[in-house]
Chains A and B, each alone.
Chain A
Amino acid sequence: MLFNSLQFLIFFPIVTAAYFSLPHHWRWLLLLLASCWFYMSFVPAYILILAITIVVDYIAGIWIERSDGRRKKLFLILSILANVGVLATFKYYEFFAENIEALLAAIGSPRELPPLSNFYDAAAAGISGALSQVGIQWKSPPVRLLLPIGLSFHTFQAMSYTIEVYRGRQKAERDFGIFALYVLFYPQMVAGPIERPQNLLHQFRDYHAFNYDRLVAGLSLMTWGFFKKIVIADRLAQVVDRVYDQPDQYYGPQVLLALYCYAFQIYCDFSGYSDIALGSAKVMGFDLMQNFRRPYHAASIVDFWRRWHISLSTWFRDYIYFPLGGDRESTLRWYRNLLIVFMVSGLWHGARWTFVVWGLLHGLAMIAFLASESLRDGCWRTLGKALPIAWLRRPVGILLTFHFVLLTWIFFRASSLHDVQTIFQQLFAADGWRHSLRALVSPYELLVAVTMVAAMELAHFVEARNEQVQPYFVWLPRGTIRQWTLMYALLIAILLFGEFRDQEFIYFQF
């Protein structure tokens, strides 16, 4: 079920009320059953895939802890292979098969690789055959092999567990139920944040008494998340989808508007989800990690990646970048490590070349930024001696970073590299700037969207001025007229301006 659905609005209070009503030693079971129910509301059968990886990682964690030397490493590798194998099968098989076929065709040896469904059919036939040997007739149900929802997230979360056990920074979880809950915890299992076992596992054992202030903070955070998702993201999606579905039909200012809309759509969609996840966990007493920190206020690409999808970027940093050597290697190897991390990050987002190029661009930008540090410092120092413009450095950095990220989002959103090309062509078409925005969006819709984004940015500005990491609505002093007024305004804005068409969250597809 989606967070922005009636089912969740019924599910959440029931689960929360039951959670606080139950004795502490039964709460984990309630959460586990609720999380299973939550996950199975998408495609029930895929819980079996999750179950297999949970069993593998649970056993691997215990064996890794008990072993040493080569055996320890072997169990880690097996666990990682199991997780990556599931991910590769469901997410990347078709992509790699298509590219291998294209390569074979290019070298004059055309060959068609079997589709993924063939493997399912073969496995199902094998099981059916084995069962018939013992007198059980079973016919495999027809299944359309879709990407299990949240696969990339919970496999990464599971892998962080086995890696931390291997590194000796986390004790292996002996309680299967608690471990299963660590992987399946419903607020964050589908689209993060990707948690670390040191932060989350112990919380399932801690006693969480009902706390009114936490309840209000959690609900405030959820409301803020719903506002970003339902009012801003889903509204902007209508403009974005029109342009990206038919990029050759839109020009100049229309394309430019869609680019800006997508930048805020993806931020509000994903951070909105994270806020709802964090808020719903907070209500029950759980603290999940912050996943966004005003990323469009970043003054550099390095700063951007400290603020955007923090749980993923730190995952890549700790489990790929540092093991490769990080910045402790020679300069060339350091840059190579950065490129590898960003390209893998791109591929993590989806099995398409556009994502790989997106990752590559960010990697190159990172390298360019780091390589030019002394040059930039020198330029600003020199200019600063002639003119009082030192204060401009940060705003210029913010503008440049935002627009770089905005342009790379084209690769992220477009369906193919051909569409990316079309969008750039349409954006810079000679006569394109004669086209009116009215053909794309009504003035009213544009006004609502701009007003809501401006309201959100105002809240961000207040957070930054107060040097707050948490969203404004969480630390707003409670019981004040200001708090009541702003919360009422938020809820009314959701009611009046929200798009309630059960739009999925963008990051569900990853």
Chain B
Amino acid sequence: MSKTAVKTSRALAWLAGLALLLWLLGIGLRQVALTLDPNETKVVELLQLQARPHDVLYLGNSVAFQGINPKVIDDACGVTSYNLAVGGSSPIEQDLILRAYLRHNPAPKLVVIGVTPNLGAFGDDLRPTVYLALEAPEKSYYAQFLQENGLPPLPFSDEIAMRVPAYRHRTTLEPMLKFFVRGEARRPSFVQGHLTYREVGAVPARLPAQRAGLDVAGLRSCLDTCQEHGVPALIVELPNSPSFNKSVVERDGAMKLLHELIDGRQGVSFVSFNEDGGPEFDRADWLGTNHFNSRGAEKFSALLAPRIDSKLRNAL
């Protein structure tokens, strides 16, 4: 065999080896993601929902994902509900999840949108699994949303990279490491889309300044979707820990944006559980700075239930 042929075959073998390794890694990470990353498992579950009628749907990020227990509200209000929230999701991602849900399921009687202005704006990115699972109309909607709001389009490089499973599921490494370090105690469980953790987590007494913010465009998109389907919306500000609230700056600005967004909108109302004088929660209710554990979620959901009940009655 000539030297060129030897070198060419060696290069090809190397590339084939790399491709095989990436493929195996992708498979492995996907399995780990589905086992250990609650957000990944949740996204797969909710995108598979078909013809499942629910009276109430909950949208939001991880604070809502862990903070709203549908079963408590169902028992209190006599409804059926489902928690559509996904950790780390931006409002536009929540809207696209809602749109995808409504494409295959009947519209609910009420949508509850969990907002967390004290955590700041989340941006307009989508989790790769969500983006890839969207159908063409939702993808076009997203592209249009970015354009209308003066945001850069999704880079082509991202579209390609998302299709590589090893890249798409690389965020799994962190929960995998946590699982090995902490063991079974931290494994999550789902009920009606609600993520529960039994542990009590540390809440630092002092935190660096956190700038409040709001993803106005994404939230507006959520409300527009509700309006298009004739579904009333209840925007709920979930509680944060007192030490976190103390560290927040520019909250007034974010709340002003929120009120400007919902003022005058028919069928939309707002309630905050995070203002001064609001409900207090024990140290034992928190998993971390802003997330309830199962005990805190039950308590909060019990406080939320009458608001939902009232909203549903008004809608009737």
Residues of A whose CB lies within 8 Å of any CB of B are 5-6, 212, 246, 249-250, 254, 435-436, 438-440, 442, 444, 447, 479, 484, 487-488, 491-492, 495-497, 500, 502
Chain A residues, CB < 8 A from B167: 495-496
C-alpha spacing A447/B178, complex, angstroms: 12
Say how far B202's CB is from chain A's closest CB, in angstroms. 9
Say how far B204's CB is from chain A's closest CB, in angstroms. 6
| B178 adjacent to A484 (CB under 8 Å) | no
C-alpha spacing A246/B25, complex, angstroms: 39
What string of 1s and 0s marks CB contacts (under 8 Å) between B151-177 and chain A? Answer: 000011110110010110010011001
Known: A6-B160, A444-B177, A496-B170; 4 extra A-B contacts, CB below 8 A, are A6-B156, A442-B174, A491-B18, A495-B164
Chain A residues, CB < 8 A from B209: 246, 249
Q: Which of A250, A447, A500, A502 contacts B177 (CB 8 A)?
A: A447
The residue in chain B whose Cβ has the minimal distance to the Cβ of A436 is B204
Chain B residues, CB < 8 A from A212: 7, 11
Q: Which of B25, B161, B207, B208 contacts A492 (CB 8 A)?
A: B25
C-alpha spacing A442/B175, complex, angstroms: 12
Known A6-B155, A6-B157, A484-B14: A492·B206 in contact at CB below 8 Å? no
Q: Does B21 touch A at the CB level, under 8 Å?
A: yes
Known A249-B209, A496-B166: A438·B204 in contact at CB below 8 Å? yes
Chain B residues, CB < 8 A from A491: 18
| A250 adjacent to B208 (CB under 8 Å) | yes
Chain A residues, CB < 8 A from B174: 442, 444
C-alpha spacing A487/B15, complex, angstroms: 11
The residue in chain A whose Cβ has the minimal distance to the Cβ of B3 is A212
Say how far A412's CB is from chain B's closest CB, in angstroms. 23
Q: Does B17 touch A at the CB level, under 8 Å?
A: yes
Q: Does B139 touch A at the CB level, under 8 Å?
A: no
A-B contact pairs, 27 of them (CB 8 A): A6-B155, A6-B156, A6-B157, A6-B160, A212-B7, A246-B208, A249-B208, A250-B208, A254-B208, A436-B204, A438-B204, A439-B207, A442-B174, A444-B174, A444-B178, A487-B14, A488-B17, A488-B21, A495-B22, A495-B166, A495-B167, A495-B170, A496-B166, A496-B167, A496-B170, A500-B157, A502-B155
| A484 adjacent to B25 (CB under 8 Å) | no
The residue in chain B whose Cβ has the minimal distance to the Cβ of A496 is B170
Known A436-B204, A447-B177: A484·B17 in contact at CB below 8 Å? yes
Say how far A368's CB is from chain B's closest CB, in angstroms. 37
The residue in chain A whose Cβ has the minimal distance to the Cβ of B206 is A435
Q: Does B10 touch A at the CB level, under 8 Å?
A: yes
| B204 adjacent to A439 (CB under 8 Å) | yes
The residue in chain B whose Cβ has the minimal distance to the Cβ of A248 is B209
Tally chain B residues at the interface, Cβ within 8 Å. 28
Q: Which of A5, A442, A496 contacts B173 (CB 8 A)?
A: A496
Chain B residues, CB < 8 A from A495: 22, 164, 166-167, 170
Say how far A20's CB is from chain B's closest CB, in angstroms. 14
Chain A residues, CB < 8 A from B155: 6, 502
C-alpha spacing A444/B21, complex, angstroms: 24
C-alpha spacing A105/B10, complex, angstroms: 71
Chain B residues, CB < 8 A from A444: 173-174, 177-178
Chain B residues, CB < 8 A from A492: 21-22, 25, 166
What string of 1s and 0s marks CB contacts (under 8 Å) between B205-242 and chain A? Answer: 01111000000000000000000000000000000000
C-alpha spacing A479/B9, complex, angstroms: 12
C-alpha spacing A227/B26, complex, angstroms: 20
Q: Which of A254, A491, A492, A497: most chain B Cβ within 10 A?
A: A492
The residue in chain A whose Cβ has the minimal distance to the Cβ of B169 is A496
Say how far A220's CB is from chain B's closest CB, in angstroms. 12
Residues of chain B in range 1-37 having any CB-CB distance to chain A below 8 Å = 7, 10-11, 14, 17-18, 21-22, 25
The residue in chain A whose Cβ has the minimal distance to the Cβ of B173 is A496
C-alpha spacing A389/B16, complex, angstroms: 53
Chain B residues, CB < 8 A from A488: 17-18, 21
Chain A residues, CB < 8 A from B177: 444, 447
Q: Which of B14, B21, B173, B208: most chain A Cβ within 10 A?
A: B208
Chain A residues, CB < 8 A from B173: 444, 496
Please provide the 7 A-B residue pairs with the shortest distance between their CB atoms, ordered closest to farther: A6-B157, A249-B208, A444-B174, A496-B170, A249-B209, A212-B7, A439-B208
C-alpha spacing A203/B161, complex, angstroms: 37
C-alpha spacing A406/B208, complex, angstroms: 24
C-alpha spacing A444/B166, complex, angstroms: 19
C-alpha spacing A439/B177, complex, angstroms: 20
Say how far A247's CB is from chain B's closest CB, in angstroms. 11
Say how far A449's CB is from chain B's closest CB, in angstroms. 13
| B208 adjacent to A440 (CB under 8 Å) | yes
C-alpha spacing A254/B206, complex, angstroms: 13
C-alpha spacing A196/B289, complex, angstroms: 56
Chain A residues, CB < 8 A from B14: 484, 487
C-alpha spacing A46/B7, complex, angstroms: 43
Chain A residues, CB < 8 A from B158: 500
Chain A residues, CB < 8 A from B156: 6
C-alpha spacing A444/B177, complex, angstroms: 8
The residue in chain A whose Cβ has the minimal distance to the Cβ of B26 is A495
C-alpha spacing A492/B155, complex, angstroms: 22
Say how far A383's CB is from chain B's closest CB, in angstroms. 44
C-alpha spacing A502/B178, complex, angstroms: 29
Say how far B248's CB is from chain A's closest CB, in angstroms. 12
Chain A residues, CB < 8 A from B157: 5-6, 500
Chain B residues, CB < 8 A from A436: 204
Chain A residues, CB < 8 A from B204: 436, 438-439
C-alpha spacing A311/B69, complex, angstroms: 62
Chain B residues, CB < 8 A from A439: 204, 207-208
Chain B residues, CB < 8 A from A254: 208
Chain A residues, CB < 8 A from B208: 246, 249-250, 254, 439-440
C-alpha spacing A44/B132, complex, angstroms: 35
C-alpha spacing A495/B19, complex, angstroms: 13
Say how far A41's CB is from chain B's closest CB, in angstroms. 15
Say how far B37's CB is from chain A's closest CB, in angstroms. 13
The residue in chain B whose Cβ has the minimal distance to the Cβ of A6 is B157
C-alpha spacing A250/B157, complex, angstroms: 35
Chain A residues, CB < 8 A from B10: 479
The residue in chain B whose Cβ has the minimal distance to the Cβ of A447 is B177
C-alpha spacing A444/B178, complex, angstroms: 8
Say how far B242's CB is from chain A's closest CB, in angstroms. 16
What string of 1s and 0s marks CB contacts (under 8 Å) between B62-102 and chain A? Answer: 00000000000000000000000000000000000000000
